[in-house]
Amino acid sequence: MIVSKKIVLHFPSRLVDQPIVYRLIKEYDLSFNILKASVIPDEEGLLVLELSGEQSNYDKGIKYLTKTGVKIQSLSQNVLRNESRCTHCGACITICPTNAFELDKISRQVIFINEKCIACGLCIKACPPRAMELHF
């Protein structure tokens, strides 16, 4: 059975320079489509993949990723904004790797564009009033 799933991979800084995705593809016969990527030396790397292949290969591939120390997140989780806590300061804007926050030029409020959000969760602890919430 062929499966295709969207996943978010967080690479600890020590793994950023290793060919993990290369091995994932080569050894487990999976194909991938990069949806988003943010890799900066000495920082946590972020990769959003659509990963496809045989179910058994897919499971083995995920097992391999877990073993290397990569944190895997399914895209089925969702980041939502608690509107009553948001103060519209804008601290999230430069933190979000996919530019899901924008400052509205007229209202001067911070707009959260859910469609751009990959649920990486970086904004959650970066939000001073803790308005961003992870929902499963």
Query: How far is residue 34 from each of residues 7, 17, 37, measured CA to CA in Å?
Result: 10, 17, 7
Outline where DSSP puts E strands in the chain.
2-11, 31-38, 45-54, 71-74, 78-81, 101-103, 110-112, 132-135
Name the residue with tokens 């990963």.
51
Distance of closest approach, residue 88 Cβ to other proteins, in angstroms? 4
Rounded distance between C-alpha atoms, residue 73 and residue 64, angstroms = 14
Taking the complex as a whole, how short is the minimal distance between the CB of residue 23 and other proteins, in angstroms?
Answer: 28
Tokens of 119: 């649920």
16 binds other proteins (CB under 8 A): no
- Closest separation in Å from C-beta 108 to other proteins: 4
Q: Which of residues 90-129 bind other proteins (CB under 8 A)?
A: 90-95, 103, 107-110, 125-126, 128-129
Q: Which is nearer to other proteins, 25 or 95 (CB)?
A: 95
Q: How many residues bind other proteins (CB under 8 A)?
A: 23
Residue 15 interacts with other proteins (CB under 8 A): yes or no? no
Amino acid identity for residue 41 in this structure: P
Residues of this chain that interact with other proteins (CB under 8 A) are: 40, 42-43, 85, 87-95, 103, 107-110, 125-126, 128-130
